[in-house]
A and B are shown apart, each in its own frame.
Chain A
Amino acid sequence: MSLTQADIDREIAERRAAAVPGDHPARDYAPYRSTLLRHPKQPPVAVTDPEAAELTGPVFGVTDVTALDNDLTRQHAGEPLGERITVRGRVTDRHGRPVRGQLVEIWQANASGRYPHQRDDHPAPLDPNFTGVGRCLTGDDGEYAFTTIKPGAYPWRNHVNAWRPAHIHFSLFGTAFAQRLVTQMYFPGDPLFPYDPILQSVTDDRARQRLVAAYEHGLSVPEWSLGYRWDIVLDGPAATWTEEGR
Chain B
Amino acid sequence: MTPPAPASNRDRSAEGRGTGPTPSQTVGPFYGYALPFPGGGDLAPAGAPDAITVHGRVRDGAGDAVPDALLEFWQADPAGNLAGAPGSLRRDPVTGAVMGRNGVDFTGFGRVATDADGHWALRTLPPGNGHISVCVFARGLLHHLFTRVYLAHDPFLDTLPADRGRTLLAEREREGVYRFDIHLQGEKETVFLDFG
Contacts and interface: CB of A to CB of B under 8 A. Distances in A.
Contacts of A133: 33-34
Interface string B7-41: 00110010011111111111111111111000000
Contacts of A40: 145, 184-185, 189-190, 192
Given A34-B140, A55-B195, A214-B9, A64 B20 contact: no
A37 B25 contact: no
A160 interface: no
Contacts of A41: 61, 185, 189
Nearest to B131: A53
A42 B189 contact: yes
Nearest to B132: A53
Contact of B60 (A37, A202, A211): A37
Interface residues of B, number: 77
B30 A25 contact: no
A148 interface: no
Contacts of A36: 61, 140
A238 to B, nearest CB: 11
A51 to B, nearest CB: 9
A35 B86 contact: no
B74 A182 contact: no
Nearest to A231: B22
Contacts of A235: 20-22
A243 B97 CA distance: 31
B142 interface: yes
Contacts of B49: none
Interface string B81-122: 011111111111100100000100001110000000000000
Interface residues of A, number: 88
A186 B32 CA distance: 21
B91 A211 contact: no
A168 to B, nearest CB: 11
Nearest to B167: A42
B31 A177 contact: no
A97 interface: no
A244 B90 CA distance: 24
B87 A64 contact: yes
Contacts of B189: 40-42
A interface, over-half SS = loop
Contact of B19 (A66, A116, A233): A233
A10 interface: no
B194 A47 contact: yes
Instruction: Summarize B's interface: helix, strand, loop or mixed.
Output: loop
Given A54-B146, A56-B82, A57-B74, A208 B23 contact: yes
B31 A32 contact: no
A109 B29 CA distance: 12
Contact of A236 (B29, B96, B195): B195
Contacts of B196: 46-48, 178, 236-237
Contact of A42 (B90, B91, B191): B191
B33 A117 contact: yes
Interface stretch (A1-9, A12-20, A79-87, A215-223): A215-223
Given A24-B143, A25-B143, A169-B28, A38 B9 contact: no
A40 B189 CA distance: 7
A45 B193 contact: yes
B66 interface: yes
Interface in A203-246: 205-212, 214-218, 229, 232-237, 242
Given A23-B20, A210-B22, A211-B23, 13 more contacts: A25-B142, A37-B184, A38-B61, A46-B195, A53-B129, A55-B195, A58-B109, A66-B93, A107-B33, A119-B30, A181-B24, A208-B23, A236-B195
5 contacts: A53-B74, A65-B91, A119-B30, A177-B133, A216-B10
Interface of B: 6, 9-10, 13, 16-35, 60-62, 64, 66, 72, 74-76, 82-93, 96, 102, 107-109, 129, 131, 133, 135, 137-146, 160-161, 164, 184-185, 189-196
